[in-house]
Structure 1
Amino acid sequence: MRFGPVPLKDAEGAILAHSLQGASRKIAKGTVLNAKDIEDLAAAGHETLTVARLDPADMHEDAAAEALAHALVPDPAAQGIRISGAGTGRVNLYADRAGLVRLDRDKLEAVNAVDPMITVATVPDFHRADAGGMLATIKIISYGVPVDAIRRASDGAADAMRVLPPVFSSATLIETAVTEDTPPDKGRAAMAGRLHRMGLSLSERTVVPHREAELAEAIANAPGQLLLVLTGSATSDSHDVAPQALRSAGGTVTRFGMPVDPGNLLFLGTFHGKPVIGLPGCARSPALNGADWVLERVICGISVSARDIAAMGVGGLLKEIPTRPMPRRDAEG
């Protein structure tokens, strides 16, 4: 691509680099100039224009962005992604369904390493996507790039991103009460919101006393495909009431505690093939917490190991909640 000033008379067929006011209208940058444009600019007194002129081996910015988008998303339906139209060298990718975004970092970094004019910016890996939410933007910075650069960027880029859909359709939330009073429904409302945006229904409310036997029975009888436990008293040990209740029911506990704050007091397990998540108290708030990261992965069929949870500590210091009973700074000695 050749870029720079040219006499007005030689600019027909070139791409206008900067918007200019003609005698009768404004001509936008990126316009491929025709004879009428040249006449209008001449009438306005312009004598020299800054333009871009593509060489035979170049591809126009819009065509280049579209080609790269289809290389990244060769099967939109299977990948759960919608490709937008192109404009000003940009194509956006949107989630076609709710789910969890998975990215192939190596493939995407390879695309961005080919040519500085070829760029792909994405949401983070494991980002929760709503249907219609933007996942990535592909931008060709210059007005054109070599066809060979787009070919090299496209090679091996297939399936570098996808949206994994939920694999469950229902969940049961079991709450425990430490007094005879029914707990406020704030926690259930927050969890219902999390589940509904991923397409899961929540079974009828289940509240049992905060005792191992009653909780074990509730776990055994829970109808949902995914079981959630929200205790009236915080779980402070792997042998506390809730983890022990899961074991008593015939389930297993695979992890207690996570290096994410808020969200430390989460536990994870299974009951007869059903995932079980013991929720930390912060799950009563709709604000992001460590339970969200585990819940979203489990809902979308991603196995979550103890090692996976341990790895969440890097980046696991989440936004402070002003209403915490003891904000982190107040706990400093």
Structure 2
Amino acid sequence: MIQVVKIEEAIGCPLAHDITEIIPGEFKGPAFKRGQILSCRDLDHLRRLGKNHLYVIKPENGEMHEDDAAKAIADALCGKGVGWSGEPREGKLSLTALQDGLLKVDVEALNNFNETGDLMCAARHTNSLVKKGDQVAATRAIPLLISSQKVDEAVEQARLSKEGVLRVLPVRKARAGVLITGNEVFYGRIEDKFEAIIRKKVKELDGQVIDVIFLPDDDDLIAEAALRLISEGADTLITTGGMSVDPDDRTRFALKKAGAEDMVYGSAVLPGAMFMIAYIGDVPVMGIPACGIFASRTIFDLIYPRVLADEKITRKDIAALGHGGLCLNCKTCSFPRCPFGK
């Protein structure tokens, strides 16, 4: 238990928490640390800090200090690629990425953990790209002393998440093959604007474009080109053109001819309602609609990192993007530090 005592009565007792001292322009930090045994020599210093009474620790059976609780729940929350180091401060610990990659948060498990009460975890948005050493979450015990049973319950709740409440998945460097389809571009009636955009987006995530093939609206030629790119080592295909409802737009049908399966066409995101994703074997194929020319960020920017983390994208994943899937077309784009996709 924690007791309030006069400072004179605290001599020989361990402090229940840090006591902060602020000297403007010189120092801000703990003048006395949790657990420190006070002596009579400390009394004048405490008075200068305005302290007449202190909290001292006299734990009872079944109680845990906030710092010990923080360590226990941090261990339970961290999955692969996430960790913590150092000592807690006032019951709080920072959780950091142990590698570059894609942060995955088991949102349901996090919610269930936070519902236990007296313990908390605040995390960055799931599917955020992070660098090694970036803070991905912070957790703390809220009371100074907390029931050990409550901590055990929270730990058990966190560990119900099969792969960890917080994980960082490695993101591979793509070898992308690009198919730019459409009679108007192939026959030179309009100038292509997509190649430069795609090259830039692939390079942003340290990938490379191994080849770009321009094609007319012909099922056989598009299917043949897709399979050729895969045979040449492309582990990701990106297509442009042929994503609308126009009868001359053949890209989706041609990809099915090439063996594409699990195709999801249409999304709950703007820009990007006519986005497509499918798989030829293990190779993901993403179709970017015309909005990719005019909008700096589209659904492609939300899905592409997840594809590179080898996540299999389903209709359910695409549907879930509707909440937060409206880009506000800000005059100065701040993506990903904005609400889009969150």
TM bucket by the smaller chain? 0.7 to 0.9
Note the residue ranges of structure 2 that are not aligned, 5 or more in a row.
334-342
Greater shift in the superposed pair: 119-128 or 181-190: 181-190
Identity level (%): 23
Whole-angstrom distance in 1 between the partners of 2:113 and 2:224: 53
Q: Which amino acid aligns with 2:244?
A: S
Q: Which amino acid aligns with 1:93?
A: L
SS at match of 1:204: strand
* Residue 29 of structure 1, CA deviation: 7.0
Where does residue 216 of structure 1 map in the other structure? Answer: 223
Note the residue ranges of structure 1 that are not aligned, 5 or more in a row.
325-333
Q: Which amino acid aligns with 2:310?
A: G
SS at match of 2:136: strand
CA 139–193 in structure 1, closer or farther in 2 if over 3 Å, else same: farther
Aligned residues of 2:202 and 2:209 also touching (Cα < 8 A): no
* Residue 137 of structure 1, CA deviation: 0.8
Candidates 67, 70, 73, aligned match of 2:75: 70
Q: Within the alignment, does 1:203 sit opposite 2:209 as a pair?
A: yes
CA 190–283 in structure 1, closer or farther in 2 if over 3 Å, else same: farther
Q: Which amino acid aligns with 1:229?
A: T
Where does residue 94 of structure 1 map in the other structure? Answer: 96
Where does residue 336 of structure 2 map in the other structure? Answer: none
Whole-angstrom distance in 2 between the partners of 1:42 and 1:312: 54
TM-score by length of 2: 0.75
Map 1:308-323; keep pairs closer than 5 Å: 308-322=317-331
Map 1:109-188; keep pairs closer than 5 Å: 109-116=111-118, 118-158=119-159, 159-166=164-171, 169-176=174-181, 177=185, 180=188, 181=191, 183=193, 185-188=195-198
Where does residue 328 of structure 1 map in the other structure? Answer: none
* Residue 228 of structure 1, CA deviation: 0.9
Candidates 96, 99, 105, aligned match of 1:103: 105
Aligned residues of 2:6 and 2:53 also touching (Cα < 8 A): yes
Q: Which amino acid aligns with 2:87?
A: A
Candidates 294, 302, 320, aligned match of 1:293: 302
CA 36–237 in structure 1, closer or farther in 2 if over 3 Å, else same: farther
Q: Which amino acid aligns with 1:289?
A: T
Instruction: Provide the alpha-carbon RMSD of the alignment.
Output: 3.4
Whole-angstrom distance in 2 between the partners of 1:174 and 1:37: 77
SS at match of 2:205: helix
Where does residue 338 of structure 2 map in the other structure? Answer: none
Aligned residues of 1:98 and 1:131 also touching (Cα < 8 A): yes
CA deviation profile, 1:115-153 (whole Å, cap 9, x unmatched): 33x111122333344333322111223333233322221
CA 248–112 in structure 1, closer or farther in 2 if over 3 Å, else same: closer
